[in-house]
Structure 1
Amino acid sequence: MKKWTMLIVLLLSVAAVMGACSSKNAEDVEGGKNSDVKQELTLNIKTEPPSLDPGLATDTTSAWVLDHVFEGLYTTDEDGNPVKGVAENVEISEDGTVYTFTIRDDSNWTDGTPVTAADFEYAWKRVLNPETGSRFAFYLYYIKGAEEYNMGEGTVEDVGVEAIDEKKLKVTLNAPLGYFDKLLTMWTYYPVKQEQVEGNKNWSTDPATYVSNGPFKMTKWAHDSEIVMEKNNDYYDASVVKLNKVTFKMVNEATTFYQMYKTGELDLISSLPMDVLEAEQNNEEYLAVPRYGTYMYIFNVKKEPFTNEKVRKAFSLSVNRELVVNTINKAGEIPAYGMVPPGVSTPDGDFREVGGEYFKEDAEEAKRLLEEGMKEEGWDKLPEIELLYTTSEGNKRIAEVVQEMIHKNLGVQVKLVNQESKTQLANVNQGNFQMARMGWVGTFVDPVINLDYFLGGSPNNRTGWVNEEYDSLLSQSKVEQDDAKRYDLLHKAEKVLMDDMPFIPMYYYSSTYLTSPKLENVAYYVNRQPFLKWAEKVD
């Protein structure tokens, strides 16, 4: 683990440097050597974003667009650190529970009207409104009265969010929260304009009705084809935005978008085709950045045979992760034997290193567990098993190898079912699955953001697994002010999760990119997609 921790630290440092490097002098941009370069960029978002409504989005594809067209009270700098965004100033009470934010006077919507404190109050309370059905409402539970209102046990008036006047927003938390500034960079906390949202239920699907407040504005959405966004001249920090136009293509076939990059049709691509990955690693345009997330297969614990804990463990122990990352992906991923990725510094060291590995692959132990589980349930044979995975070359190849390993080590045949992302997610949300490929990337770097995924009350926990001890430990961690004690609670929670194992952790992500040498100042974050606020084209 020390080897991996050192590697992660090194790569995170490289990523931070890459995100912040090549900063240009004002004369280079304003009428200098790049003044005659067409500031237009084309990249690949792969699939249709499921939702561009900040209150409803739950996926990284939608978030990639949202992070460019909206901005919250806090945003991120070139290194990925939280900095004040729409908030010009913040006052915090002595006990750390009351925040008073002052909204910038020069913060405007894309229709030219000012962003107000009431826009934030409306947006947050809309997320919490049970009728909205936001799957990320629980991220606002840190706010006083938020959980009670969302669960139908309180009123909207009891929620600790209040627009004192046009520019001051008062937020009352249940307890002090050391990472509240990081949380506020998340898209679920973005403002929305009430009259726009309530005036048209489809407001977020049509550029003609799409009002936002970020560095870019959406001007075109050809569904399943492309999204176009252009520089937002009403953005308060518009002077640092160099790109005039960004086009997100939706090309899911890896070989196709790779060829589009090679012919100059795309300026940046991620998730390189596996058959070219090794060759491209010597290319100066290649970059691998650790990603703070986990690739996994989740179980539906309410459907046989995964109602049995020993059967779940048997499947997990039968899969060789080293083989997947070293012979299939080969992009710097790290085999996962827990939920929380490396990269979190704690008083005792890296969280992952301190927590260690909760299990190891063991075909013989897997067989024994499977036999015991079947005996406990009185099963002579297992029911037919399906694994749902989303369309992509990488997902397909990994699923095929996992299928082969399970058959070889357990004698169990798994049927693979390939579905487009939106369809697969809908089926998983409805519980129409036994096993399903999922991934989770923390919106900020803290173990709680990863472990929250499996909370009993989290809409993102599609496994059906609920454990009161687990939920209690996470709840305690969110009010614990002593860092050492907080991380200890999170370690205990992760152990409970791994003992029950409602999922198969496969590996911790690494993102691979090819970026045109004519493109500079892209911020490559470990927990978000590349950010283009400072990006520019050069000769």
Structure 2
Amino acid sequence: MKKWLIMLVAMLALSSVLAGCGGDKATSGNSKDVKQEMTVGMTAEPPALDPALATDTTSGWVLNHTFEGLYTKDKKGEIVPGLAKDTKVSDDGKTYTFTIRDDAKWSDGTPVTAQDFEYSWKRVLNPETGSSFAFYLYYIKGAEAYNKGKGSADQVGVKAVDDHTLQVELNAPLAYFNKLLAMYTFYPVKKDLVEKNKNWAADAKNYVSNGAFKMTDWKHNSQVVIEKNDKYYGQKDVSLKKITFKIVPDATTYYQMYKTGELDFIMTLPSDALEAEKNNKEFKEVPYFGTYMIMFNVNKEPFTNAKIRRAFAMSIDRKTLTDNVTKAGEIPAYGMVPPGVKTPNGGDFREEGGNYFKEDAAEAKKLLQEGMKEEGWSTLPNVTLLYNTAENNKKIAEAVQEMVKKNLGVDIKVNNQEWKTYLDTTHQQNFQMARMGWIGSFVDPVIMLDYYLGDSPNNRTGWVNKKYDDIMAKSKVEQDETKRFELLHQAEDVLMQDMPFMPVYFYTNTFLVSSKFSNIAYYLESSPSFKWAKKTSN
């Protein structure tokens, strides 16, 4: 696979100014009395710390520390058994029998049972729960029908045989089922707690989980505190006693807090700081399996017209954006699926699929005029680009605004909202064009392409294409991996022809992490894990 990271040209004057903001981060030698605590910068309030309701990477970051499913990830990012002590699969590949670990416990000391898993998965599917990720369970027999109000919970193929045995029936064999089971949507929740208090996940007081850490404090819009869970079966691998996620929405502020030692770890550095920090031994740049995009609402003018959608996509200069605005080594994106997926023949899915369009201002203007003529418009309806509040998003939105003006002659407005409000607004499809990022929960094209299924609650564009949905459905029952990947390429072809969104770039993650800490796990498809992290000096 081609090299991910793009070397940046140093801005020496800026570097000297930013570096001058730094505090003294010298360490004080090894000591058995090192306080195993860490303070981490988080850029937004987690919208939902209930595994059934979470849909975003911010909430997922906390959930992945406080919960664990039947499968989990090891330090290298490989999918390994979690609470599943043993897994048996029937000869036809459709029935799984999981044996729950004897030492699986909730943070209150009570056992995690197979009944908790049955309850939790059926809760995700219950239409009254309103889970946006319920469709990830549709591989299970009867799951889709129940979620869509056409079946009952009793018909769902999930059954606790006894306290330690969970039986799951699938519609068809699924090669990546264990990867799905590591997602937070499949985490168990404590049945009696949830049934007793519908707001159990709103604060730390009532919070019970089963992962390496437990939540002990949540001051909304200020901080989330998690502490080592001494009831966790793998507690011997956990060194940190306490992690404080400080919620600091402003990128410049959290960067300054890191430089003065108030934060030990920050993610997604402000673009200006990247020039100053790229040679710092505490700086890390890691590929991230995700796509930064701008969604079009295909039910709101002017993006009801496919030619106009394509014109906008062709009018922005992605290399200028990644080189001069974001500056974090991102790769310009001309498709939905990022690099990093190994195909059955040893290639890379993105490289084999290639680019679906190219930037061309003259062609973009032509398409815009053709689209307007088709709609009978002499002038284009007013357009607003919505983004969630973050410094990098603001810079990208303003750059896109300038490029669209230059290359299409169209004035667009930009507007921002806080993350939780933004999720509600886009979910209600109350926008014309809006930025979005989608990070794959595991490394496979299906996790990216599922986003635009017609009945996916995450698809906020209003775009529904039966051909696309049919191809994706076929891919999920195809047992031949070569044929499965062919189908996924076909699906991406359909998606990119209609273009209900415009890809901007494929992510990289940038970090600053204090040299006092070691054993942080960096993953391609999710935020880092501190499960094995250790503080080596004060």
Note the C-alpha offset of 1:328.
1.1
**1:35 positional shift:** 2.4
Bigger mean CA deviation after superposition, 346-355 or 57-66: 346-355
- What is the DSSP-based 3-state SS (H/G/I as helix, E as strand, rest coil) of the residue aligned with 1:269? strand
Greater Cα offset, 149-158 or 109-118: 149-158
State the shift of 1:425 in Å.
1.1
The structure 1 segments of at least 4 consecutive aligned residues displaced by more than 6 Å after TM superposition are: none
Counterpart in the other structure of 2:3: 7
Q: Is the 8 A contact 2:77 2:523 kept in 1?
A: yes
3-state SS in 2 of match to 1:208: coil
Deviation per CA, 1:399-439: give whole Å up to 9, x if none. 00100110111111110001111111111111110000100
2:63 corresponds to 1:46: no
Q: Which moved more, 1:273-282 or 1:497-506?
A: 273-282
Superposition deviation, residue 325 in structure 1: 0.6
Match of 2:267 in 1: 270
**For residue 278 of structure 1, what is the amino acid of its counterpart?**
E
The answer to whether the aligner puts 1:239 opposite 2:236 as a matched pair is yes
Which residue in the other structure is 2:387 paired with? 389
Task: Please say if residues 9 and 343 of structure 1, whose CA atoms lie closer than 8 Å, have aligned partners that are also in contact.
Answer: no
Of the candidates 144, 149, 157, which is equivalent to residue 147 of structure 1? 144
* Matching residue within 454, 459, 462 for 1:461: 459
* Counterpart position of 1:342: 339
**Structure-2 residue corresponding to 1:176:** 173
* Aligned-partner SS, 2:236: helix
In structure 2, which of residues 309, 323, 327 is the aligned counterpart of residue 326 of structure 1? 323
Which amino acid is the alignment partner of residue 106 of structure 2? W
Give the alignment partner of residue 469 of structure 2, picking from 471, 477, 481: 471
Check if 1:502 corresponds to 2:494: no
> 1:62: which partner in 2?
59
Indicate the residue corresponding to 1:415 in structure 2. Answer: 413
Aligned residue for 2:188, secondary structure, equals: coil
Contact 1:34/1:537, CA 8 A, preserved across alignment: no
Percent of pairs with identical residues: 63
CA contact (8 A) 1:299 1:463 kept: yes
Residues 1:518 and 2:521 are matched in the alignment: no
Equivalent residues in 2 for 1:59-138 (5 A)? 59-138=56-135
Structure 2 spans left out of the alignment, 5+ residues:
8-28
- How many corresponding residue pairs? 515
- Measured on the aligned residues, the alpha-carbon RMSD in Å equals 1.3
Contact 1:295 1:439 in 2 (8 A): yes
What is the alpha-carbon distance in structure 1 between the residues aligned to residue 163 and residue 272 of structure 2? 56
Q: What's the CA shift string for 1:433-488, capped at 9, x where partnerless? A: 00001000000000000000000010000000000000000000000000110000
Show structure 1 runs of 5+ residues with no match: 12-31
1:47 deviates by: 1.1
The AA in structure 2 aligned to 1:513 is F
Query: Residue type matched to 2:368 in 1?
Result: L
Q: Structure 2: how far apart are the matches of 1:135 and 1:247?
A: 28
Amino acid at match of 1:392: A
Q: What does residue 427 of structure 2 align with?
A: 429
Matches within 5 A, 1:432-447: 432-447=430-445
- Aligned pair in 2 of structure 1 residues 278, 119: CA closer, same or farther (>3 Å)? same
Checking the alignment, whether the CA contact within 8 Å between 1:8 and 1:343 is kept in structure 2 is no
What is aligned with 2:356? Answer: 358
Q: 1:79-126 CA distances to partner (integer Å, 9 max, x unpaired)?
A: 111100011111111111111000001010011100000000000000
* Alpha-carbon distance in structure 2 between the residues aligned to 1:477 and 1:276: 43
Whether the 8 Å contact between 2:5 and 2:330 is mirrored in structure 1 is no
Q: Distance in 1 between matches of 2:523 and 2:59?
A: 16
The alpha-carbon distance between structure 1 residues 421 and 381, as it changes in their structure 2 partners (threshold 3 A), is same
Note if contact 1:50-1:62 (Cα within 8 Å) is conserved in structure 2: yes
Q: Does 1:490 align with 2:488?
A: yes
Report deviation, 1:33: 5.2
1:22 alignment partner in structure 2 = none
1:258 matched to 2:234 = no
* Deviation (angstroms), 1:379: 0.6
2:22 aligned partner: none
- How far residue 9 of structure 1 moved from its aligned partner, in angstroms, is 10
Q: Is 2:387–2:434's contact at 8 Å kept on the other side of the alignment? A: yes
Do the aligned partners of 2:99 and 2:166 also contact (CA within 8 Å) in 1? yes
Deviation of the 1:34 alpha carbon? 4.7
State the alpha-carbon separation in 2 of the partners of residues 115 and 424 from structure 1: 35
Give the drift of 1:10: 12
1:60 and 1:332 mapped to 2: Cα distance?
20
Match among 207, 212, 217 for residue 209 of structure 2: 212
Equivalent residues of 1:447, 1:490 under 8 A apart? yes
How far off its partner does 1:331 sit? 1.0
CA contact (8 A) 2:127 2:148 kept: yes
Q: Find the aligned partners of 1:377 and 1:517 in 2 and give their Cα distance.
A: 59
Indicate if the aligned counterparts of 2:4 and 2:331 stay in contact, CA closer than 8 A: no
Rounded to whole Å, the distance in 2 between the matches of 1:290 and 1:181 is 23
Distance 1:518 1:176 in 2: 46
Instruction: Give the counterpart letter for 1:493 in structure 2.
Output: A
How far apart are the structure 2 equivalents of 1:59 and 1:76? Answer: 19
- Counterpart secondary structure, 2:201: helix
Is the 1:73–1:85 Cα contact (8 Å) retained in structure 2?
Answer: yes
CA distance in 1, matches of 2:432, 2:136: 27
Q: Give the Cα separation in 2 of the matches to 1:300 and 1:9.
A: 32
